[in-house]
């Protein structure tokens, strides 16, 4: 199941580029992945030979564009094993998908005194919408804490669920900082037993391994195309019975069935939640990204990344004073965040950039998690199917340079 990384890299035009005269070592796929030529070609084909607005025209270009757009939706549905293609809603990004739930489901179902439970390891996109919903509705927002080794403290979960006030539990399928892979199916079982629905942020998971929404335990799941070799669009998956009950998030064209002067009726799923002209070429590009990843194989990608992250954590232990945040390699995905006491992460990233290495520096849209570990920021290396052990070696060499320049 090993990947032919040189052959894969050859399909990504950006890797022909040099940074500061050095080979590009891209280690920021957790923020956004690079794009292979088949995805670029699919989008260029739309823009140059096949663009028209969808669902509305009866001429050839419009019918072709509509068919390609809906075919991409069907590909995504198969990719996550959705039971119904109508459960797959195209949104701008995972953030919009989570906000859609907070407004369309939350406004109708969260009441004063109710509780919303999330975890300390969430991305801001899975924190701020719930903060705002709790404030609007007079609800309580509670957190499942993170242990010193970067795992969820599941011992506190019963106390958050047993009184019957919790109506929603939101959890990342993988932490974008710690790489932690929480036992989300177990969390979902506990939440459902207490009568709560479960929202999962899968932005860091769907690009890297097989996700089956029919067995995962989620009621809603959001993820982003730009992290999975695709363009800047997102997907919200939800259970049909819940989506049917919800009011639209946005209003306007295409999400309606009929419009009269004083009232309107909504379109069927998924169109009820897709107001206005969508990102047509981008959705088709996401379908091409699904084809690309499926052709390589998600199991092979996951196995490849697990090998890289184990190698990376071993090599990073050679860097003086470097502290890796989070669990061991068997309990994390392809993300390694670290802290050098003598060097601010921004300085680390700037020095690594001189060597052609791209890492993230900052709080990674997870300030509460960094507060939990009493650090202002971290540097993050994230790996994908186009990375290999040599990229790790270059990273470690670059970090030794950081220590030489900035170390005590």
Element (H, E) at 86: none
- Calpha distance 149→125 (Å, rounded): 23
Joined tokens for residue 14: 């950006």
- Tens of pLDDT along the chain (408 residues)? 589 999 999 999 999 999 999 999 999 999 999 999 999 999 999 999 999 999 988 999 999 999 999 999 999 999 999 999 999 999 999 999 999 999 999 999 999 999 999 999 999 999 999 999 999 999 999 999 999 999 999 999 999 998 999 999 999 999 999 999 999 999 999 999 999 999 999 999 999 999 999 999 999 999 999 999 999 999 999 999 999 999 999 999 999 999 999 999 999 999 999 999 999 999 999 999 999 999 999 999 999 999 999 999 999 999 999 999 999 999 999 999 999 998 999 999 999 999 999 999 999 999 999 999 999 999 999 999 999 999 999 999 999 999 999 876
Residue keyed to tokens 């990204």:
289
Tokens in use for 180?
């932690």
Give pLDDT, residue 408.
62
Nearest Cα neighbor of 363 from 123, 189, 147, 39 is 123
Burial of 366 (0-12, 13-18, 19+ CB in 10 A): buried
Gap between the Cα atoms of 201 and 196, Å rounded = 16
Gap between the Cα atoms of 52 and 256, Å rounded:
20
Residues labelled catalytic:
365
Tokens of 383: 């790996």
pTM: 0.96
What pLDDT, on the 0 to 100 scale, is given for residue 2? Answer: 81
Q: Which domains does the chain have, with CATH numbers?
A: 5-30+297-406 (3.90.1150.10), 41-294 (3.40.640.10)
Residue 94: name the closest of 185, 31, 187, 168 by CA: 31
Query: What pLDDT was estimated at residue 60?
Result: 96
**Confidence (pLDDT) at 1:** 53
DSSP H helical segments within 138-248, as ranges?
157-161, 184-193, 213-216, 240-245
Ramachandran sector of residue 353 (left: φ over 0; alpha: ψ -120 to 50; beta: rest): alpha
| H or E stretch at 20 | none
């Amino acid at each position: 199941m090993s990947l032919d990384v040189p052959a894969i890299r050859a399909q990504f035009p950006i890797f022909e580029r040099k940074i500061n005269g050095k080979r590009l070592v891209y280690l920021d796929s957790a923020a956004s992945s690079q794009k292979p030529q088949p995805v670029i070609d699919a989008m260029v084909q739309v823009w140059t030979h096949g663009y028209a607005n969808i669902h509305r025209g009866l001429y050839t270009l419009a019918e072709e564009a509509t068919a390609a757009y809906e075919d991409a939706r069907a590909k995504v549905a198969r990719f996550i094993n959705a039971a119904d293609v109508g459960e797959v809603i195209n949104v701008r990004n995972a953030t919009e998908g989570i906000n859609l739930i907070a407004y369309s489901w939350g406004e109708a179902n969260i009441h004063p005194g109710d509780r919303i439970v999330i975890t300390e390891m969430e991305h801001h996109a899975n924190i701020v919408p719930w903060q705002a919903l709790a404030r609007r509705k007079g609800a309580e927002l509670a957190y499942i804490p993170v242990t010193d080794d970067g795992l969820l403290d599941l011992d506190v979960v019963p106390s958050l669920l047993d009184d019957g006030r919790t109506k929603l539990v939101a959890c990342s399928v993988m932490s974008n900082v710690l790489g932690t892979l929480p036992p989300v199916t177990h969390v979902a079982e506990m939440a459902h037993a207490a009568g709560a629905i479960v929202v999962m942020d899968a932005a860091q998971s769907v690009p890297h391994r097989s996700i089956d929404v029919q067995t995962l335990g989620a009621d809603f799941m959001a993820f982003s195309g730009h992290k999975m070799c695709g363009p800047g669009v997102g997907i919200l998956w939800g259970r049909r019975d819940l989506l049917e009950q919800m009011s639209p998030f946005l209003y306007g064209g295409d999400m309606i069935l009929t419009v009269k002067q004083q009232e309107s009726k909504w379109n069927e799923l998924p169109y009820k939640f897709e107001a206005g002209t969508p990102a047509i070429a981008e959705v088709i590009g996401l379908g091409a990204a699904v084809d690309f990843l499926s052709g390589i194989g998600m199991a092979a990608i996951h196995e490849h990344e697990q090998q890289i992250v184990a190698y990376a954590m071993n090599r990073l232990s050679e860097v003086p004073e470097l502290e890796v945040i989070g669990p061991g390699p068997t309990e994390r995905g392809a993300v390694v965040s670290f802290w050098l006491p003598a060097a601010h992460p921004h300085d680390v990233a700037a020095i690594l950039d001189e060597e052609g290495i791209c890492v993230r520096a900052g709080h990674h849209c997870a300030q509460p998690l960094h507060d939990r570990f009493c650090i202002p920021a971290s540097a993050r290396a994230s790996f994908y199917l186009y990375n290999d052990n040599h990229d790790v070696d270059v990273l470690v060499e670059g970090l030794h340079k950081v220590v030489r320049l900035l170390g005590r």
